[in-house]
Chains A and B, each alone.
Chain A
Amino acid sequence: MLENEANPTFSKSTGLPRKRFYRARAHSNPLSDSHFPVPISPCHVDYSLHYPQFFSSSDQIDSSKKIQVCRYWDKVSEYVKERISALRVANPGQYQNISVVRTNSMKYIPNYFEKGQLSKMFFLFPDPHFKEKNHRRRVISTHLLDEYAYTLRVGGIIYTITDVEELGDWMKACLESHPMYEALTEEELEADPVVKLLSSATEEGQKVARNDGQTFQAIYRRIMPAI
């Protein structure tokens, strides 16, 4: 049961964790090796921890769609984890197909996901790392796009959004020049219901809208490279 009264970090009305008790520093260092456990390979990932309804033992494989959130900051991971637990309790049977894992997705994506396992990847308001010497810490780069293309199936889609124009241009340039991605056409963007949610459904997107800011999206499809 939720400990609403005892635990002030949870809101009394919605039963959901309150974000302001999970503040983190704005930046984190993806270069330093942290202390979270990393699975040796994708077949070592214990899905029963993340999706208990679908995986009662670790040898059950469920092929239906799941959502896995990868976050680097421990405070944010904690917040998301509490939020998912709270939502699962408040809405029985729902929110069973979403989970969070604390990891460095720039180094360990191949440890979690097999080749072509993912149908969609989302990079929402990533750290801009403004200084030129820090550009290599950006989560979208030509080299990292090789790894994301490995885990994304052919036809899978990568969604990126940011409120920082320079970063938006950078991400678009990386994707445009990469031989394994092609831009979605206007018609395809219109037809995809997820595209609108990027700016309207994320808390960061809503904050930007409240402040009358602009968002910059780059949405690309993973393709077979031309011979």
Chain B
Amino acid sequence: MEDTPIEEGETNKDIEVAPALIAVHPTQKSVAVAVGSDLRVFDLHGVSAVALVDDTSVPFHKDSIRAIHYSADGKLFVSAGDDKVVKVWSTESWRCICTVPSEKRVSAVALSHDGLHVCFADKFGVVWVVDLDGFDGNQTLVNKKAAPLLAHYCSIITSLEVSPDGRFVVSADRDFKIRVTLFPKKPLDGAHEIQSFCLGHTEFVSCLAFVFTPDYPQGFLVSGSGDSTVRLWDISSGSLLDTYEVAEKAGLLESNGTGEECNPAITDLCTFPDGTLIAVATQRQVIKPSLHLQGILLLSCDLSTRTLSIAKVVSITGEAFIPTSIRTSSSAGLLWMVTGVSNMHGFDQPSLARVRVISGSEKCSLSSPEHEPTVLEDNEIPGGDKLLEKLQGSVSVEENVFLAAAEAVKTAMSNLLVKKQYSTEKREFRKRTEMIEKIKSDKLLALTALSKLIL
């Protein structure tokens, strides 16, 4: 008799807490925030909120959005999540031009550089690809079906990226692995040629990004993980070039030297367009309830020595703000951050979001260490109050609610991505109870069948 399979990602049918996400148009024409199933977009050129148009068969998202992405040229926007659909939007008209069904809940998305293909990963470890052929303006593409591209056997894929030169697709999972696969000429036939595996993380890999400059056009991969490190990789060989341990530095953001162990998971990272600066967001380690120092780590990447080092620690003061998602635009040099959550239990507001912006990071490098990036006030950010009203929603939220939200996101991430270590006794107990449950349900089925026969 077989064990009841423990299928990752599909056991918890309860509505999970979902972190808020942010994405920025490459030339900062617009900013998008996803909170739960709500997709909010603000047009920075026209300084106005955007009303999304969706007349496809399944309009708008019905469940938490788990991934959002602008295409490299900014013409397209993709959103996908727990409602098992991938939506492609035109950023000119903000109409949904395509809705692609997925068998499982979607956990990550990426776009090819030419904007012709959308890749998305599901919680079962399969990466799918769909082609956007035939889109020439505004009409809706119907009946687009995705084909399997590659798979990480039964592992939740947390992040998908395409390399700067478009040659490789990189996928990271919760089993500490990063796989680099050649992006084929015919993606719909599958990506079978694995270039390398980047192995070295000792916990789930949570985020990926590339650093690259005109001198190093192929770029290097940067990854963040639950093991509290940021690592630099050469993807053609899979070699680990450098490891940065965030733990001690994150301690700087919290109280000073209490001697407590501090191993916050990396929740998100993104690279600045100049190719040498990496912004890192971490989970919050509560050391003292009274201490609310938190912020962003700015790491400097030296592409010639292939090393990572700390450039700056940017503290965010004045309010509880633990970013759940951070992004930069290719121009402008601003770091956009959002903190927020949806489906939180026990509060009047199940969904909440707060957006903040850091400016001046790009000027902050090892050559001018005295320059300090600044966290902008609400009236200083592009779009000002109008943008905040659209992206945050118009409800004001108390500080303790944001703290509770951060904890809820941390617990949800841990439940999803950290492998449960059961002791031998607990494992045997679980096997026995599962077996007893199965026998009971088998008996019930048999009795029902029998009673139907007799009657």
Residues of A within 8 A of B (CB): 25, 27-33, 35, 40-42, 106-107, 110-111, 115, 142-147, 149-150, 178-180, 225
Contact of A31 among B7, B150, B194, B202 (CB under 8 A): B7
Contact of B153 among A32, A40, A143, A178 (CB under 8 A): A143
A8 CB to nearest B CB, Å: 25
Task: Please give, as numbers and ranges, the residues of chain A lying within 8 Å of B5 by CB-CB distance.
Answer: 29, 31-32
* Interface size counted on chain B using CB atoms at 8 A: 37
Contact indicator A143/B150 (Cβ below 8 Å): yes
Task: Please give, as numbers and ranges, the residues of chain A lying within 8 Å of B1 by CB-CB distance.
Answer: 25
Give the nearest-CB partner of A39 in chain B: B199
Contact of B150 among A115, A146, A180 (CB under 8 A): A146
B190 at the interface (CB under 8 A from A): yes
B 193-211 binary contact with A (CB < 8 Å = 1; else 0): 1101101111000000000
Contact indicator B175/A225 (Cβ below 8 Å): no
A116 CB to nearest B CB, Å: 11
Contact indicator B199/A32 (Cβ below 8 Å): no
- Docked Cα-Cα span, A206 to B148, in Å, equals 39
Known: A32-B6, A107-B175, A150-B194. 20 other contacts (CB 8 A): A29-B6, A31-B6, A31-B7, A31-B8, A33-B419, A35-B427, A40-B176, A41-B197, A41-B200, A106-B153, A107-B154, A110-B199, A115-B194, A115-B238, A143-B126, A145-B192, A146-B192, A149-B192, A178-B192, A179-B192
- Docked Cα-Cα span, A41 to B176, in Å, equals 10
Closest 8 CB pairs of A and B: A41-B199, A143-B151, A150-B194, A110-B197, A32-B6, A29-B3, A31-B5, A146-B192
B 164-199 binary contact with A (CB < 8 Å = 1; else 0): 000000000001110101000000011111101101
B348 at the interface (CB under 8 A from A): no
Task: Please give, as numbers and ranges, the residues of chain A lying within 8 Å of B150 by CB-CB distance.
Answer: 143, 146
Task: Please give, as numbers and ranges, the residues of chain B lying within 8 Å of A147 by CB-CB distance.
Answer: 153, 194
A148 CB to nearest B CB, Å: 10
Task: Please give, as numbers and ranges, the residues of chain B lying within 8 Å of A40 by CB-CB distance.
Answer: 176, 199-202
B133 at the interface (CB under 8 A from A): no
A199 CB to nearest B CB, Å: 28
Q: Given A143-B148, A146-B192, A178-B192: A107 and B155 within 8 A (CB)?
A: yes
Contact indicator A32/B192 (Cβ below 8 Å): no
Give the nearest-CB partner of A150 in chain B: B194
Contact indicator A29/B176 (Cβ below 8 Å): no
Contact indicator A115/B196 (Cβ below 8 Å): yes
- Docked Cα-Cα span, A35 to B426, in Å, equals 12
B420 CB to nearest A CB, Å: 8
Select the residue from B6, B148, B197, B238 with max chain A CB neighbours within 10 A. B197
- Docked Cα-Cα span, A115 to B238, in Å, equals 10
Task: Please give, as numbers and ranges, the residues of chain B lying within 8 Å of A25 by CB-CB distance.
Answer: 1
B178 CB to nearest A CB, Å: 10
Compute the total of residue contacts between A and B using a CB distance below 8 Å.
76
Contact indicator B192/A111 (Cβ below 8 Å): no
B2 at the interface (CB under 8 A from A): yes
Residues of B within 8 A of A (CB): 1-3, 5-8, 126, 148, 150-151, 153-155, 175-177, 179, 181, 189-194, 196-197, 199-202, 238, 419, 421-422, 424, 427
Contact indicator B192/A29 (Cβ below 8 Å): no
Contact indicator A111/B199 (Cβ below 8 Å): yes
Give the nearest-CB partner of B179 in chain A: A110
Contact indicator A180/B199 (Cβ below 8 Å): no
A60 CB to nearest B CB, Å: 22
Give the nearest-CB partner of A41 in chain B: B199
Task: Please give, as numbers and ranges, the residues of chain A lying within 8 Å of B126 by CB-CB distance.
Answer: 143
Contact indicator B2/A27 (Cβ below 8 Å): yes
Task: Please give, as numbers and ranges, the residues of chain A lying within 8 Å of B421 by CB-CB distance.
Answer: 35
- Docked Cα-Cα span, A142 to B6, in Å, equals 23
Can you report 20 residue pairs joining A to B where beta carbons are below 8 Å apart? A29-B5, A32-B5, A35-B422, A41-B199, A41-B200, A42-B199, A106-B153, A106-B154, A107-B154, A110-B179, A115-B238, A143-B126, A143-B148, A146-B151, A146-B191, A146-B192, A146-B193, A146-B194, A147-B194, A225-B193
Contact indicator B193/A110 (Cβ below 8 Å): no
Contact of A144 among B3, B153, B193, B419 (CB under 8 A): B153
Task: Please give, as numbers and ranges, the residues of chain A lying within 8 Å of B196 by CB-CB distance.
Answer: 115
- Docked Cα-Cα span, A110 to B197, in Å, equals 7
A114 CB to nearest B CB, Å: 9
- Docked Cα-Cα span, A145 to B202, in Å, equals 26
A34 CB to nearest B CB, Å: 9
- Docked Cα-Cα span, A131 to B444, in Å, equals 23
Give the nearest-CB partner of B424 in chain A: A35
Task: Please give, as numbers and ranges, the residues of chain A lying within 8 Å of B200 by CB-CB distance.
Answer: 40-41
Give the nearest-CB partner of B202 in chain A: A40
Q: Given A110-B197, A143-B151, A144-B153: A32 and B3 within 8 A (CB)?
A: yes
- Docked Cα-Cα span, A163 to B191, in Å, equals 31
- Docked Cα-Cα span, A33 to B418, in Å, equals 11
A103 CB to nearest B CB, Å: 13
Q: Given A29-B2, A41-B199: A107 and B193 within 8 A (CB)?
A: no
Select the residue from B150, B177, B192 with max chain A CB neighbours within 10 A. B192
- Docked Cα-Cα span, A18 to B1, in Å, equals 24
Contact indicator A180/B192 (Cβ below 8 Å): yes
Task: Please give, as numbers and ranges, the residues of chain A lying within 8 Å of B199 by CB-CB distance.
Answer: 40-42, 110-111
A102 CB to nearest B CB, Å: 15
A195 CB to nearest B CB, Å: 26
- Docked Cα-Cα span, A146 to B197, in Å, equals 12
Select the residue from B148, B153, B197, B200 with max chain A CB neighbours within 10 A. B153
- Docked Cα-Cα span, A31 to B123, in Å, equals 13
Select the residue from A29, A107, A149 with max chain B CB neighbours within 10 A. A107
- Docked Cα-Cα span, A3 to B165, in Å, equals 63
Contact indicator A180/B153 (Cβ below 8 Å): no
Select the residue from A143, A145, A225 with max chain B CB neighbours within 10 A. A143
B155 CB to nearest A CB, Å: 7
Task: Please give, as numbers and ranges, the residues of chain B lying within 8 Å of A106 by CB-CB distance.
Answer: 153-154
Task: Please give, as numbers and ranges, the residues of chain B lying within 8 Å of A143 by CB-CB distance.
Answer: 126, 148, 150-151, 153
- Docked Cα-Cα span, A25 to B2, in Å, equals 8
- Docked Cα-Cα span, A171 to B401, in Å, equals 55
Give the nearest-CB partner of A43 in chain B: B199
